[in-house]
Amino acid sequence: MSHQSFHPPLRTLMGPGPSDVNPRVLEAMSRPTIGHLDPMFVALMDDMKVLLRYAFQTDYDLAMPVSAPGSAGMETCFVNLVEPGDTVLVCQNGVFGGRMKENVERCGATAVMVEDEWGKPVDPNKVEEALKANPDIRLVAFVHAETSTGAISDAKTLAEIAHRHDCLIIADCVTSLGGSPLKVSEWGLDAVYSGTQKCLSCTPGLSPVTFSPAAIERIQNRKSKVQSWFMDLNLVLGYWGGGAKRAYHHTAPINALYGLHESLVILEEEGIENACQRHQHNHSALRAGIEAMGLSFVVDEACRLPQLNSVTIPDGVDEAAVRSRLLNEYNLEIGAGLGPLAGKIWRIGLMGFASNQTNVLLCLGALDAVLTDMKAPIKSGVAVEAAMKVFAS
Ligand SMILES: *Cc1c(COP(=O)(O)O)cnc(C)c1O
């Protein structure tokens, strides 16, 4: 036997997630493991709740990380708020709305779908119409920042419509948290889940969530037990809920939580508004370079995410070959298209710690070099300069 330790290469992660992890987060994660009921750890959990309320811009009591990735945060929202026989309105304008439908159906409920073209935001008028046509619906779900396309939807308006029709609203904020303005309690979002590996630039594997008092009340008044023991918030809250009588539910991923705590401290240091501005500024520079090359964006500027850039692939280019050359020659990861956009777009992430000038210029320079070498129909040698002009302005 001669197995060896795994030493990953140092990549630049500019795909749809995970994003580059801040070295401060990795350092925090390597600190000594202590017991999950140790008073020092309990104090860390309490501090984490305060930091999460800031990140989510929420005054809801319940803000905590689910001990599993973003997909488990999604499932936590659905299994707690959906009961067998319910009808739920699900908005779909990309991959993740499809997963919401799966969740609804696996809870024994029916999903009424409001569908929009991939690359477009959720259309609030269609949501209004669907709720008028289905007065028995009590829950609406949508994706705030669709990572599969790069489109952002109007969370505030969607929440207003849902509440006017006596519905609670679930929002997927996995990619928006820390990169785009998100005001959970002001907008009245009732159940929100996110992830650690997108704009928070922590390692993957945790899902911050926050629930409104109305959502908690609905969970406490369920007719049936939550189908998942692990995700049943009535039980999880015995551990995360606070108070002196904190009870064992599961062993928290101690060191992963050190990492999340550090990434939230970093977000607080920078300030959310500044973080959003930084994402916007780096997007503008990337856009200048991409457009100078003669490539274009899939999503209209008015609803385009700065942290996830869907870029069209020039004619006749083997897009997978480009991505593998970027990875092998430049240690640079960008994302492929999904679903109807597979083979048609690249997804360039500028998320969290990865959203910086160095990465914008690396990506444009590397893309320019590879496409030029492949004799792709682009304008060569101009992208970096176009981006530099934005940085200098
Ligand atoms: C990444 C992502 C998820 C899933 O998160 P995981 O941590 O991969 O489970 C869910 N929704 C959106 C919008 C995402 O971008």
Specify whether 141 is located in the same domain as 204. Answer: yes
Whether residue 117 lies inside any domain: the answer is yes
Any idea what the CATH number is for the domain that residue 211 is in? 3.40.640.10
Express the helix, strand and coil content of the chain in percent, nearest 5 each: 45, 15, 40
Residues in Cβ contact with 342 at an 8 Å cutoff, skipping those fewer than 6 apart: 336
Residues 338, 262 share a domain: no
15 within domain boundaries: no
Ligand 1, closest atom to CA 197? Answer: 7
Q: Does residue 297 belong to any structural domain of this protein? A: yes
pLDDT value of position 242? 65
Tell me whether residue 306 is exposed, middle or buried, using C-beta atoms within 10 angstroms of its C-beta: 0 to 12, 13 to 18, 19 or more.
Answer: buried
Q: How far is the CA of 70 from the centre of ligand 1 (A)?
A: 5
**Range name among 94-98, 162-166, 202-206, 246-250 with the lowest pLDDT average:** 246-250
Amino acid making up residue 331: N
Residue ending a domain, choose from 202, 234, 269: 269
> Mean pLDDT over all residues of the chain?
97
Flag whether pLDDT at 244 surpasses 70.
no
Are 225 and 284 found together in one domain? no
**193 falls within a domain:** yes
Look up the CATH number of the domain holding residue 352. Answer: 3.90.1150.10
Q: Does ligand 1 come within 6 angstroms of the Cβ of 306?
A: no
Q: Note the pTM of the prediction, 2 decimals.
A: 0.97
Task: Read off the pLDDT of residues 335-361 as tens digits, 9 standing for 90 and up.
Answer: 999 999 999 999 999 999 999 999 999
Q: How confident is the model at residue 1 (pLDDT cuts 50, 70, 90)?
A: confident
| 285 shares a domain with 237 | no
92-132 pLDDT tens trace = 999 999 999 999 999 999 999 999 999 999 999 999 999 99
**Residue 214 belongs to some domain of the structure:** yes
Whether 190 and 54 have beta carbons less than 8 Å apart is answered as no
Q: In sequence order, what are the residues at sequence separation of 6 or more whose Cβ sits closer than 8 angstroms to the Cβ of residue 28?
A: 258, 259, 261, 262
Are 212 and 139 part of one and the same domain?
yes
- 306 and 204 share one domain: no
Pair (199, 276) in one structural domain: no
β 110-115/87-92 pair status:
parallel
Residue 98 Cβ inside 6 Å of ligand 1? The answer reads no
Average pLDDT of the residues in 232-253: 84
Q: Is residue 170 part of a domain?
A: yes
Binding residues: 347
List the one residue out of 303, 351, 285 whose CA is nearest residue 16: 351
Structural domain of residue 47, as residue ranges? Answer: 23-269
Closest protein CA for atom 3 of ligand 1? 70
The pLDDT tens digits of the residues spanning 57-82 come to 999 999 999 999 999 999 999 999 99
Tell me the pLDDT tens digit for each residue of 257-280.
999 999 999 999 999 999 999 999
Residue 4 is assigned to a structural domain of this protein: no
**How far, in Å, is the centroid of ligand 1 from the Cα of 195?**
7
For residue 267, give the amino acid letter: L
- Number of domains composing the chain: 2
Positive or negative torsion for Cα 106, 109, 114, 120 = negative
- Using one digit for the tens of pLDDT, what is the confidence trace for 310-321? 999 999 999 999
Domain boundary among 269, 291, 312: 269
Give yes or no: residues 265 and 283 share one domain.
Answer: no
- Protein residue whose Cα sits closest to atom 12 of ligand 1: 174
Shared domain for 146 and 264, answered yes or no, is: yes
pLDDT confidence of residue 243 = 64
The residues, ordered by sequence, that sit 6+ positions from 335 with a Cβ below 8 Å of its Cβ are 15, 16, 346, 347, 348, 349
Kindly state if the Cβ of 204 falls inside 6 Å of ligand 1.
yes
Residue 237: name the closest of 216, 258, 222 by CA. 216
Atom of ligand 1 nearest to the CA of 74: 10
**Residue 135 and residue 151 in one domain:** yes
Is 245 in the same domain as 362?
A: no
Determine whether the shortest distance from the Cβ of 180 to ligand 1 is under 6 A: no
Last residue of a domain, one of 269, 302, 329: 269
Does residue 176 share a domain with residue 68? yes
Q: Which pLDDT band holds residue 248 (cuts at 50, 70, 90)?
A: confident
Query: Is there an atom of ligand 1 within 6 Å of 77 CB?
Result: no
Ligand 1 contact, 92 CB (< 6 A) = no
Strands of the chain, DSSP E: 12-14, 62-66, 87-92, 110-115, 139-143, 145-146, 151-152, 168-172, 191-193, 207-211, 308-312, 332-336, 345-349
The confidence score (pLDDT) of residue 238 equals 82
Query: Is the beta carbon of 305 within 6 A of some atom in ligand 1?
Result: no
Tell me the per-residue pLDDT of 354-392, one tens digit each, with 9 for 90 and over: 999 999 999 999 999 999 999 999 999 999 999 999 999
Predicted confidence (pLDDT) at residue 141 exceeds the cutoff of 70: yes
Mean pLDDT computed over 218-231? 96
Q: Please report whether residue 189 resides in a domain.
A: yes
**Helix axis angle, 383-392 to 357-373, nearest 10°:** 160
Q: CB of 64 within 8 A of CB of 240? A: yes
Average pLDDT value for residue range 14-36: 97
Average pLDDT over residues 158-178: 98
Q: Compute, in angstroms, the gap from residue 351 CA to the centroid of ligand 1.
A: 13
